[in-house]
């Protein structure tokens, strides 16, 4: 069986940087606490656990003088303030692209511009963006039933993992509701990394019999990637690791396309590729 890799797959720059920062900090601190998964991937979290990274539910579980890590998604400002108030050692692995988006929201807030954040309001990154706006912002993925000021200075930004097309579609709906005379600016805070993986997966689909997406089901960008592959019309399979390969499922496919979400480490991708080559 031939395995063809997507041109872009696996860890994005922000996740690679966050893991490297936390591994580096693990050499300096015996234990590093985190309130959220550093990466939505069970294999990476197990490796980090072996290096002393412990996932906890609340700051109160973290002992005095310990180190606490923020993920690439960033963290809401009150949480960072609470970490500083306790004088814990902060390992801030917030992705620079998320930090840029936070800055845009903060500047809008400072200039009294109400900000719409197109994104999942329960997602950690979006909660961190909202915290930079103090009160004059709202986060949503749907315009239906949304309450907001219909006049004044307005801005629209996006959760970084949304596609530019999705942001534009949301902007069109918003403008249709507000009217074109409204002072609305659309600020592109999307990240090119997930989009590059979706584009590469579409290109891959054209030349293979089936596609395998590698990653964890709790990773939003991997689920999006799986959906993009399904939309290509090619049979699409979701695997967490090489242990999930069932040879009987892939009988009859000569060329398998391989892609992986931005939270899937290289060694898991490599082991899945080797698993298919041995069928």
Q: Which residues are catalytic?
A: 125
Burial, 85: exposed, middle or buried (Cβ in 10 Å; 0-12, 13-18, 19+)?
Answer: exposed
Name the residue nearer to ligand SF4 (CB basis): 13 or 52: 13
Q: Does 9 bind ligand SF4 (CB under 6 A)?
A: no
Name the residue nearer to ligand SF4 (CB basis): 83 or 97: 97
**Cβ contact 257:234 at 8 Å:** yes
Strands (DSSP E) contained in 112-243 are 114-118, 137-140, 153-158, 183-186, 210-214, 236-239
- Residue 159 CB, nearest approach to ligand SF4 (Å): 9
**Cβ contact 74:99 at 8 Å:** yes
Q: Which residue is nearest to ligand SF4 (CB)?
A: 14
- Residue 17 CB, nearest approach to ligand SF4 (Å): 8
Q: Does 211 bind ligand SF4 (CB under 6 A)?
A: no
Q: What angle do CA 9, 14, 19 make, to 5 degrees?
A: 95
In the set 6, 9, 12, 157, which binds ligand SF4 (CB under 6 A)? 12
Name the residue nearer to ligand SF4 (CB basis): 14 or 257: 14
Burial 1-38 (b: 16+ CB within 10 A, else e): eebeebebbbbbebbbbbbebbeebbeebeebbbbebb
Which ranges of 30-140 does DSSP label H, i.e. alpha helix?
42-50, 77-85, 96-110, 124-131
Site string for ligand SF4, 90-119 (x = CB under 6 A): -----x-xx---------------------
- Residue 94 CB, nearest approach to ligand SF4 (Å): 9
Q: Give the span between the Cα atoms of 3 and 208, in whole angstroms.
A: 9
Q: Does 74 bind ligand SF4 (CB under 6 A)?
A: no
In the set 6, 9, 14, 130, which binds ligand SF4 (CB under 6 A)? 14
Return all residues near 278 (Cβ < 8 A) that are at least 6 apart: none
User: How many residues form the binding site for ligand SF4 (CB under 6 A)?
Assistant: 14
Name the residue nearer to ligand SF4 (CB basis): 157 or 245: 157
Q: Does 265 bind ligand SF4 (CB under 6 A)?
A: no
- Residue 84 CB, nearest approach to ligand SF4 (Å): 23
In the set 10, 74, 119, 194, which binds ligand SF4 (CB under 6 A)? 194
Closest CA to 210 of 240, 274, 254: 254
Name the residue nearer to ligand SF4 (CB basis): 35 or 256: 35
Beta bridge partners of 54: 33
Q: Does 201 bind ligand SF4 (CB under 6 A)?
A: no
List phi, psi (to 5°) of 84.
-65, -40
Residues that bind ligand SF4 (CB under 6 A): 12-15, 72, 95, 97-98, 160-161, 191, 193-194, 262
């Amino acid at each position: 069986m031939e395995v063809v890799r997507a041109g872009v797959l696996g860890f994005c720059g922000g996740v690679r940087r966050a893991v490297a920062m936390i591994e580096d900090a693990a050499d300096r601190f015996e234990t590093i606490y985190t309130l959220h998964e550093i990466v939505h991937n069970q294999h990476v979290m197990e490796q980090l656990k072996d290096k002393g990274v412990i996932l906890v539910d609340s700051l109160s579980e973290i002992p005095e003088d310990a180190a606490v890590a923020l993920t690439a998604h960033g963290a809401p400002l009150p949480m960072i303030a609470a970490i500083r108030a306790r004088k814990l050692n902060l390992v801030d692995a917030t992705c620079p692209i998320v930090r840029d988006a936070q800055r845009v929201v903060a500047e809008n807030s400072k200039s009294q511009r109400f900000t719409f954040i197109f994104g999942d309001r329960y997602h950690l990154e979006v909660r961190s963006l909202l915290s930079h706006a103090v009160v004059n912002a709202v986060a949503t993925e749907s315009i239906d039933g949304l309450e907001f000021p219909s006049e004044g200075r307005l801005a629209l930004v996006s959760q970084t993992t949304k596609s530019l097309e999705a942001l534009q579609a949301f902007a069109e709906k918003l403008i249709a509701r507000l009217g074109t005379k409204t002072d609305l600016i659309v600020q592109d805070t999307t990240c090119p990394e997930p989009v590059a993986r979706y584009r590469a997966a579409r290109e891959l689909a054209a030349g293979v019999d089936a596609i395998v997406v590698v990653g964890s089901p709790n990773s939003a960008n991997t689920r999006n990637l799986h959906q993009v592959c399904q939309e290509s019309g090619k049979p699409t399979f979701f695997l967490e690791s090489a242990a999930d390969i069932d040879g009987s499922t892939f009988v009859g496919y000569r060329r398998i396309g391989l892609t992986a979400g931005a939270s899937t480490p290289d060694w898991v991708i490599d082991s899945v590729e080797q698993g298919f080559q041995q069928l």
